[in-house]
Amino acid sequence: MQFDIITIFPDILDSYFNESILKRAQKAGKIKIKMHDLRKYAAGKHRSVDDKPYGGGPGMVLMIEPLYKTLKKIRKKKNSQVILLDPAGKQFNQKIAQSYSKLDQLIMICGRYEGVDARIEEYIDQKVSIGSYILSGGELGAAVILEAISRLIPGVLGKYESTEYETFSGKDSEIIEHPQYTRPEVFKGLKVPEVLLSGNHQEIAKWRKIQKK
């Protein structure tokens, strides 16, 4: 799957995308991440991508023209979507992640400043938010969405089946993962539950099911 991220800070996520699972996934050809510098498609000597809003008001707004030009330069695959990271958008969750994981390409526009020229809505499929709070830009949201989707792509994790039992996976989106323990058996008087040490897989399965409720 290909991820295209439109931003005025194309290097801001470099270290994050080049570590751990995402690094291995790119190396294995399971995902491709392309960063697109919005300023490359801005006009004028200073490559300005923002301007004051019509009608007045605080802050600056990302202009439609460089966004449009950037989108036109991206070669779209047949099964693709364009989303705008926006705090007013639909809240991202595991169900949306699963839906996006079936795409061949997801193009993400990272908002900045006071917002984006509203005419961008003519060129996107959906506005998406990662939560009911305000960030300085959409880059962190893009990283969250990209990782959540990537984990669902077969072959990205060491064992695809390991996503089955994770929090919010499965048929019931409210399922919570059971508590996990590892060595040592006792830490500062806190003990691992005896059932997990018993070797009785039937009883362990029962215990885990109870813990999820």
Looking at every residue in the chain, the average pLDDT score rounds to 91
Pinpoint the alpha helices (H) of the chain: 14-17, 20-27, 64-73, 94-100, 139-150, 194-197, 201-212
pLDDT tens figures, 107-125: 999 998 889 999 999 999 9
Indicate the domain borders of the chain. 2-159, 161-212
- pTM for this entry: 0.87
Beta sheet of 80-91, edge-to-edge order: 32-37, 2-7, 105-110, 80-91, 126-129
Token pair for 125: 């499929």
Is the domain covering 2-159 a CATH 3.40.1280.10 domain? yes
2 vs 58, higher pLDDT: 2
Task: Report the pLDDT value the prediction gives residue 172, as an integer from 0 to 100.
Answer: 41
Please determine, for residue 61, whether its predicted confidence score (pLDDT) is greater than 80. Answer: yes
CA atoms within a 13 Å half-sphere pointing along the CA-CB vector of 213:
5
CATH code of the region 161-212? 1.10.1270.20
Could you tell me which residues are beta bridge partners of residue 127? Answer: 84
58 vs 105, higher pLDDT: 105
Task: Report the pLDDT value the prediction gives residue 113, as an integer from 0 to 100.
Answer: 84
Token pair for 176: 């919570």
